Amino acid sequence: MTTRAPIMAGNWKMHKDHLEATQLVQKVAYHLNEGDYEGQDVVVCPPFVSLRNIQVLLDAERLPIQLGAQDCHQESSGAFTGEISAPMLARLDVDWVIVGHSERRQVFGEHDALVAAKAVAVQAAGMAPIVAVGETLEQRQADQAAAVVDAQLRGSLDGVSVEDPTRLVVAYEPIWAIGTGETASAEDAQDMCAHVRTVLADLFGQDVADAIRVQYGGSVKPGNVRELMGQPDIDGALVGGASLNADDFALIVTHRR
Ligand code: PGA
């Protein structure tokens, strides 16, 4: 079995202005030693308006934190008022882009085909997509969670390249666990992440599936990260609320210490 380097990512959502964003990154960096970055990817995904500030800070201080964005438009340019394209993000040294987050799907009506188009655009611009999937509480209660995630994966990965499988991440985020304080049990999270890998193997073959990282997201905190990360098919965390606090995010990143 391939060893997969963990990927620990903070999704700040619509929080922190550009001054607060700079401070937060500085604080996170203060808590982390050189060794904490070794063998894993540490990513922050601030709102668009803070990307430039953080890029400059990371560059000036030579910090090994990687920059991510929370979304992008699927076209590279055009008359799309209010939108941000993948090439624009790439120019800011953004390396990762979350696509298909459940808030984009639920609040903004994004569907699998659009998510796939965005993921393809991210790759075309030389960045790596974090493709998010996950079921609602009703779907879980109706025993449909595995089928929903299966369909989301097939639709959202349509046309996505796995030439370098380390540059594609799937985030499994059960919607009922996001921002609710309610985490999936490590066992449930593991079961679904293993299911994700089975679907990936069906789509791309076992070797590729073994190399793709699957993150768990949904109320990840310093107190539960170790158990979650101890599961064989969980290769990282996509962290919302707890990533807004430098101490907590640093504890999540250093869960192996
Ligand atoms: P949460 O958010 O950690 O606040 O539950 C996770 C996410 O939506 O990515």
Q: What is the residue-level pLDDT of the chain in tens, covering all 257 positions?
A: 568 999 999 999 999 999 999 999 999 999 999 999 999 999 999 999 999 999 999 999 999 999 999 999 999 999 999 999 999 999 999 999 999 999 999 999 999 999 999 999 999 999 999 999 999 999 999 999 999 999 999 999 999 999 999 999 999 999 999 888 888 899 999 999 999 999 999 999 999 999 999 999 999 999 999 999 999 999 999 999 999 999 999 999 999 88
Q: Which residue puts its alpha carbon closest to atom 3 of ligand 1? A: 240
Long-range contacts of 115-119 (CB under 8 A, 24+ apart): 115/155, 115/156, 116/155, 116/156, 116/157, 116/158, 116/159, 116/160, 117/74, 117/159, 118/71, 118/72, 118/73, 118/74, 118/86, 119/156, 119/157, 119/159, 119/160
What is the reported pLDDT for 130?
A: 99
Ligand 1 contact via 116 beta carbon (within 6 Å)? no
Please identify every residue annotated as catalytic: 101, 173
User: Using a 6 Å cutoff on CB, does residue 241 contact ligand 1?
Assistant: yes
> Pairing between strand 7-11 and 236-239?
parallel
The CA-based dihedral angle spanning residues 78, 80, 82, 83, taken in that order and rounded to the nearest 10 degrees: -70
pLDDT the model gives residue 181: 81
- Ligand 1 within 6 A of 239 CB? yes
Query: Is 173's C-beta closer than 6 angstroms to any atom of ligand 1?
Result: yes
- Compute the distance between CA of residue 130 and CA of residue 115 in angstroms, rounded to an integer: 11
Cβ(200)–Cβ(153) below 8 Å: yes
What pLDDT sits at residue 20?
A: 98
CA of 79 relative to ligand 1 center, distance in Å: 32
| Pocket probe mutation, ligand 1, options 169, 180, 239, 245, max atoms within 8 Å of Cβ | 239
The whole-number pLDDT of residue 204 equals 98
What's the Cα-to-Cα distance from 231 to each of 64, 74, 169, 208, 240, rounded to whole Å? 26, 34, 17, 19, 20
Q: In this structure, which residue's CA is closest to atom 2 in ligand 1? A: 240
Give pTM, 2 decimals: 0.97
